Amino acid sequence: MARVAIVTGGSGGIGQASALKLARDGMAVVVHYGGNRDVADETVKAITEDGGKAIAVQADITEPASVAAMFDQAEQEYGGVDVIVHTAGVMNQPTPLVDVDFDTLDRVHRINIRGTFAVAQQAARRVRDGGAIVFFSTSVLGLNLPGYTVYNATKGAAEAITMILAKELRGRDVTVNTVAPGPTATKLFLDGKDEETISRLANQAPLERLGQPEDIAEAVAFLGGPARWVNGQVMRVNGGIA
């Protein structure tokens, strides 16, 4: 029986690349989207045309009942859930702490922390034994760059959830890990940045390029598939930046 994966934020960027990769690896994929059904349908179409299985499911990740309903649909369609890949999140424009607007703080924290917690709670309750849970952080967390207090605080929370949940699931044979990408050519990363900034960030890595969503998807597939002895870890996938 094929393993079943839910990929939040699966309609674009790293989430879409992860959904496509997991499907190519033989998993049935639930492609979650927040508001853009058309892009989610495109991802599903790409998977099914390649011979895979996928459905698109809408959910508000900040609302526990909506997340639970997404898991319900996955179980009804495919019989259970084995892998959770939680890529959905937001990033604010880098801003010094003294200038942070609290509406921005609340919005980013609600999506990135409350959303992660809601997904984590359902995953902990419902992922089948032998499964895998993959959260997302950022390599920026290790660089402590000025202006990133809001975003880094939310990703620090994701890493904390990872470490503790891995221990709380003792005896279940369920792994819990986090992927922490470096600069990656996604809409989330590129929005609001000029060419000079993008070039400077790309050249931070010894490989002298931005990561591609497919680079990150390779790490996701490893943690969601064969990496059964990797647990409670943060994998920094950044081309060697830090």
Cα–Cα distance between 59 and 53 in angstroms, integer?
20
Residue 135 pairs in a beta bridge with 178
Cα–Cα distance between 133 and 223 in angstroms, integer?
8
Q: Is 52 helix (H, G, I), strand (E, B) or coil?
A: coil
In the chain, at which residue ranges do the beta strands (DSSP E only) sit?
A: 4-8, 28-33, 54-58, 81-86, 127-136, 175-181, 234-237
Cα–Cα distance between 220 and 217 in angstroms, integer?
5
C-alpha torsion sign, points 224, 169, 178, 80: positive
Is 78 an active-site residue?
Answer: no
- Among the listed residues 33, 78, 148, 151, the single catalytic one is 151
- Which residues are known to be catalytic? 151
